[in-house]
Amino acid sequence: MLTLFTLILLTLGAYFLLRKRRESSRVRARVARYARAEVLAAVRRPGRGKGSLVGAWMDRVALHLERAHLPLRAREYVTILLGAAVTAGLVGALVRGIVGGLITAASAAAAVWLWPVRAAARRRQQFVEALPGALASMAGALRAGQSLVGAMRVVAEEFPEPVGPEFARAVQGIQLGMTPQAAVSQMRRRVDVPEVSYLEAAIALHQQTGSDLGYLLDRTVEALRARMEASSELRALTAQARLSGRVLMVVPLVLAAFMYMVDRDYGATMLGTGPGRGVIAVAVALMVLGRYWIRRITEVF
């Protein structure tokens, strides 16, 4: 049973890892249409130094919380996550034994981990919606004679959360000695919005060739607004299919966990016999395959 549970977790983990890599490759291809290859090489995010596994995990958690704008430290969040997993695991073990404890612990850990994910997604959507207006304000300030830092300061003062504070942090970084390109790169990493790469590439192109940054930002704003209009229309047309994909993944897992906790014969049949484990393995494989194809059909860009 533990081997089957581990296999299911590995299958789901591999699916989400491959999906994340595909999204990253699409972002790079999209940015390449707006900047030259050498400019992209110049603005590429520097690699992280090697460190301990625990340190890398804590850095990941800290970035996870920063993107969600939650007032928690990484250690505090990890403590909450472990506490929820242990508490739920003990309750599940008392009700359904070791396997029940593993299921409830994993469910509680996933719920706590998805809490910042949802908050970060809402904040990221707000940033994307306000970004064209922010870039248009920067272009207007540049045409009025402001410097790049002055134009970014205008955005920091005029726009609310989350755009204003993020640009304010970028301005502060420039004042402390960072290049504008590096400050925008850090902002892109904090907010996890690929569209910030357009501003990053425009600044790099301006610094390397002396081109008109205000003109580049105007063209970037037009491209972003056209993309947002097309994306909104396509998301409206594919809303039903995307909801079906979420239901496909969530409802069977919830029903299976509920039946396992309530009906002892159900768990013994499905996890204690060879045919039952085979049915579970095939069902998980079909769920992942179905979710993948629904996402391929309904993906916007």
- pLDDT of residue 22 exceeding 70: no
- pLDDT of residue 87 exceeding 50: yes
137-185 residue pLDDT tens: 999 999 888 888 899 999 998 898 888 888 999 999 998 888 888 888 8
Q: How confident is the model at residue 16 (pLDDT cuts 50, 70, 90)?
A: low
- pLDDT of residue 209 exceeding 50: yes
- pLDDT of residue 279 exceeding 60: yes
Is residue 127 within 8 Å of 193, Cβ to Cβ? yes
Residues 135 and 96 in one domain: yes
**pLDDT for the residue 17:** 56
Q: What is the mean pLDDT of the chain?
A: 78
Q: Which residue has the higher pLDDT, 43 or 91?
A: 91
Residues 216 and 93 in one domain: yes
Instruction: State what percent of residues in the chain have pLDDT above 90.
Output: 4
Residues 22 and 130 in one domain: no
- pLDDT of residue 7 exceeding 60: no
- pLDDT of residue 96 exceeding 60: yes
Q: How confident is the model at residue 2 (pLDDT cuts 50, 70, 90)?
A: very low
Q: How confident is the model at residue 34 (pLDDT cuts 50, 70, 90)?
A: very low
Q: Which of 191, 226, 261 is the last residue of a domain?
A: 226
DSSP state of 301: -
For residue 39, tell me if it sits in a domain: no
Q: How confident is the model at residue 39 (pLDDT cuts 50, 70, 90)?
A: very low
Residues 70 and 16 in one domain: no
Is residue 96 within 8 Å of 267, Cβ to Cβ? yes
- How many Å apart are CA 126 and CA 120, to the nearest integer? 10
pLDDT (average), residues 17-37: 51
For residue 38, tell me if it sits in a domain: no
Residues 137 and 168 in one domain: yes
- How many Å apart are CA 222 and CA 214, to the nearest integer? 13
- How many Å apart are CA 119 and CA 225, to the nearest integer? 24
Residues 195 and 292 in one domain: no
Q: How confident is the model at residue 54 (pLDDT cuts 50, 70, 90)?
A: confident
For residue 285, tell me if it sits in a domain: yes
CA separation, residue 146 to residues 33, 106, 137, 300 (Å)? 28, 53, 11, 37
CA separation, residue 113 to residues 194, 248, 270 (Å)? 22, 21, 28
- pLDDT of residue 46 exceeding 50: no
Residues 6 and 109 in one domain: no
- How many Å apart are CA 58 and CA 52, to the nearest integer? 10
Q: Which of 24, 116, 114 is nearest to 70 (CA)?
A: 116
Residues 112 and 188 in one domain: yes
Residues 106 and 201 in one domain: yes
pLDDT (average), residues 186-215: 86
pLDDT (average), residues 53-69: 78
Number of domains the chain contains: 2
For residue 232, tell me if it sits in a domain: no
Residues 91 and 62 in one domain: yes
Give the residue numbers spanning the domain of 10: 1-33+238-301
**pLDDT for the residue 167:** 92
Q: How confident is the model at residue 229 (pLDDT cuts 50, 70, 90)?
A: confident
Residues 132 and 281 in one domain: no
